[in-house]
Chain A
Amino acid sequence: MNKAFTIALAGNANVGKSVIFNQLTGGKQIIGNWPGKTVEKAEGLIEQEGLKIRVIDLPGIYSLSTYSEEEIVSREFIARERPDLVIDVIDASNLERNLFFLLQLIELEVPIVVALNQYDVLEGRGLEIDSAKLSNLLGVPVLKTVATKNKGLRELFSLAKEILLQGKKPTGIVRYGKEVEERVERLIQEIQREGDLPYPPRFVALKLLENDPLIASECKSGALLTLAKELRKELEEIHGEQAETVIISERYSVASRIAESVTRKKETLQADFTDKIDNLFLHPVGGYFILLLLLLSVFFIIFKFGSFLSDEISTLFNPLIQYLENLPLPGFLSGLLVHGLVEGIVAGLAIVLPYIAPFYFLLAILEDTGYLARIAFLTDSLMHKLGVHGKAFIPLIESFGCNVPAILGTRVMERKRDRLITSVLATLIPCSARSVIVFGLVAVFLGPIYALLLYLIDFLLIFLVGLLLNRYLKGLPSGLIMEMPRFRKPVLKIIFRQTWIRLKDFTNFALPIIVGANLVMEILILTNSIEPISRIFSPISWFLGLPAFATVALLFGFLRKELTLIMLATFYGTTNFGAILTGKQIFIFGLVTMIYIPCIATIAALKREFGTVKALLVTLGEIVGAIIIGGLLNFLLRACG
């Protein structure tokens, strides 16, 4: 048997799809406790007993009438590509809303297995669900799982395989009220006569009654659309509500009835831990105070830990470099080997890694606890001034790690305008590579207060750019609709794994670039080409008040931002930057590195999401902006002495 089957993991946001995906396929999807982590589908392959199964992890989706961009990915995949089976992952502690989606999925008539996930949370509330009864009522198999503890997943997968091989579709149909069903029936007759849509007639009929714009746009039959419009009008007259409200209400009343009939109270409810904590974390004054305190502690932990580790690692490698330098090799070769290759690797390990490792570790903790959604809540008003809503803050926080996934992550925003604004702001957020410059150069040689000052200047700039974009881009800001995840105790294993996945990206992808650039630099030095190159840029160097070589180092930052600092170290043959740059130069160098251009990977991400023109505009704008701001600061500082 060589046919590959496809299983898709679908369900509401933040129910544990990616956790199940990782456990089943050994995949490395980013997970965390906030809605909207997965914005693009991920794929893994399982081969078992001669059976090939593609497992697809889909972004969270609340309804098959989609709203935001990441949901469209899920809907398109389920409705059009028709996986052989869908595992609908349900948050057991939030049955009603999750059933709302499942009811629509059943109408699509794909084979389904339901994973009643996070069952431990439900039990923790003193509740239980009769899964056999649920399965009977819906006509689909239901299994209890706790994905984070790998409970029930083996059974889930083998059940999925069984259903898959049988191609067994849901049995039984969930019926709605009489007025709706009569009209569904009339539409089905018309649909069967026309028969041009790739979906089951009942699904189409309900979506047409719901006035779903996507299904309507796929309908070629004018007669069908006219009939649907007439029937919607009838429904609206009977119920005194919009037709969409009628259908959504019908679905919810079925979902609510089912949820109630299968849920039982085992013991009395304990007070909800999340509620208590939220009174503190979302407090109108205290909440912001905690946020500020938390960000400051993150800053100081990264600085203290990073600079300590950086020293240790440098010391560790010193004997090796000395040994290699003393080898009787021809000068050119020795230069390439020692300064190009070995020092490139050491720079990556000693300058970059010590700062990004603790950063990713702390980010993983923030992600896993559910605090990120609280930040979105707290910053909603502020973000509205920039033309986006609070959810934008999540990709912005992710941006401190790397801008590339953050730009992709803006898909949680519902509209193109929001996505563009958020992405532009994201490119101005100092990613981990830029933080390396701030911590490793500015904080170490000028003191942490100056590093904080740089961040403040940058945040001020982001705020101003946001204000301007909101003012001059067409359209109105949209509003926040976000499910607040429960707080959860961070699981150490997951946090380490998450940190490791991101660090692996660094060693596999960034380190080779750093070493390669270092080799190029060494060749430039050995062939005496630095002089002429820096002469070309001398007007900029003059304007910024930087030594000629520093401007060349900035050029390398185009590849990866860490390189600006590493190139300085390679060129001057020292990491004691205090000896080569004055305090003023260090500050300006740090500032310009922070804002001047997104690296090449970020530009590529911008281009993919928004097109070449916008990507170029953002890039040019940031180069020019950074040079002007750096230059103005230079002259200001000079004037002040």
Chain B
Amino acid sequence: MTLAETKSGSKVRIIGFRHPGAGFIRRIQEMGILPGSTVEVERNIFSGPVELFVRGTHLAIGRGIAARILVEPLNE
């Protein structure tokens, strides 16, 4: 599944990216969203950006970019 399809309050692990060569994919990796990292989905409402908690900070990621981040759900 992609980050855009996650539920608010869930924890997911990043597993990869669609179009990994794109500039914004490099940037989100530099912001700490890397394959293997665990992120908390704080806010994901039908439209608008997805808010994540990752490495101690809150990041807002546009829906289009979120749809290119592949994740797997983590069971608590």
Contacts and interface: CB of A to CB of B under 8 A. Distances in A.
Contacts of B47: 381
Contacts of B43: 278, 282
B61 interface: yes
B47 to A, nearest CB: 5
Given A62-B30, A241-B35, A244-B29, A481 B62 contact: yes
Given A93-B56, A242-B20, A481 B48 contact: no
A250 to B, nearest CB: 10
Interface residues on A, range: 35 or more
A206 to B, nearest CB: 13
A377 B49 contact: yes
Interface string B36-76: 11000011011111010001111111111100000000000
B34 to A, nearest CB: 5
B34 A249 contact: yes
Contacts of A93: 56
Interface in A82-101: 93-97, 100
Interface in A5-53: none
B45 A252 contact: no
B23 A245 contact: no
B65 A481 contact: yes
Given A100-B32, A381-B48, A480-B65, A244 B26 contact: yes
Interface string A333-363: 0000000000000000000000000000000
Nearest to B43: A282
A381 B30 contact: no
A244 B20 CA distance: 10
A377 B55 CA distance: 20
Q: Which of B31, B35, B42, B49 has the most CB of A within 10 A?
A: B49
B27 to A, nearest CB: 5
B28 interface: yes
A242 B28 CA distance: 14
A94 B59 contact: no
A378 B45 CA distance: 11
Given A63-B30, A381-B48, A249 B35 contact: yes
B41 to A, nearest CB: 13
A256 B56 CA distance: 11
Contacts of B26: 65, 67, 244, 248
A249 B62 CA distance: 22
A380 interface: yes
A390 interface: yes
A222 interface: no
B44 to A, nearest CB: 10
B56 A481 contact: no
A208 to B, nearest CB: 15
Contacts of B20: 242, 245
Interface of A: 62-63, 65, 67, 93-97, 100, 241-242, 244-245, 248-249, 252, 256, 274-275, 278, 282, 284, 373, 376-378, 380-381, 384, 389-390, 414, 477-484
Interface of B: 16, 20-21, 23-24, 26-32, 34-37, 42-43, 45-49, 51, 55-65
13 contacts: A62-B30, A63-B27, A63-B30, A244-B26, A245-B29, A248-B29, A252-B32, A252-B37, A378-B48, A380-B49, A479-B63, A480-B61, A481-B61
**Top 9 A-B residue pairs of the complex, sorted by shortest distance between their CB atoms:** A479-B62, A480-B62, A479-B65, A484-B58, A63-B30, A479-B64, A284-B45, A381-B47, A67-B27
